Amino acid sequence: MVVEELHKVLCKENIEKMIMIILLLAILAIGSANGQAVIPTIQPPVNPCDTFQCAAGTKCKLQDSLCRTGPCYVPTCVPIGDCLGKNQEWSDCGSACPKRCEQKEPVACPAVCRPGCVCKKGFCLRTSGDCVADVNCGTLAK
């Protein structure tokens, strides 16, 4: 029973319940060791989002999925919320090489897309991170 409950808690990453179970296991261990304190060592769950890279404007979220061994959680990138920059909007498949004011010529870019905030149509990115109208850039090739 305790092991099954611990498995559920670890999968859902419910920290409060995990702490209670660890305390319960410690109490059970003390009682079963003739009064001698024996505290079990339990490794905290590893969160795949700790090492998963997401694009700017997104964050890692564990999505419920079904694995061969049962339910599991797959890291995916989701929007943090509204794009904060002026003249920006969310795109599930934005360019890996956005159009920039400082470019004199278009840049060859791999056909790879990334989720994140992008400049709206008719705007390009400044070094400052702001999106300005193409006509206000001055240096961008037409």
The encoded tokens of residue 137 equal 């850039």
Of 83, 105, 106, nearest to 94 by C-alpha is: 83
Show me where the domains of the chain are located: 1-45, 82-137
Find the helix or strand (DSSP H, E) in which 2 lies: helix 2-12
Q: What is the pLDDT of residues 114-140, one digit of tens each?
A: 777 889 999 988 877 788 998 888 644
Find the helix or strand (DSSP H, E) in which 113 lies: strand 113-119
What is the CATH architecture assignment of 82-137?
A: Ribbon (2.10)
How many Å apart are CA 85 and CA 89, to the nearest integer?
Answer: 8
The answer to whether 89 touches 113, Cβ cutoff 8 Å, is no
Percent of the chain scoring above 90 in pLDDT = 4
Q: What is the pLDDT of residues 54-95, one digit of tens each?
A: 877 777 877 766 677 766 777 878 777 667 678 888 787 888
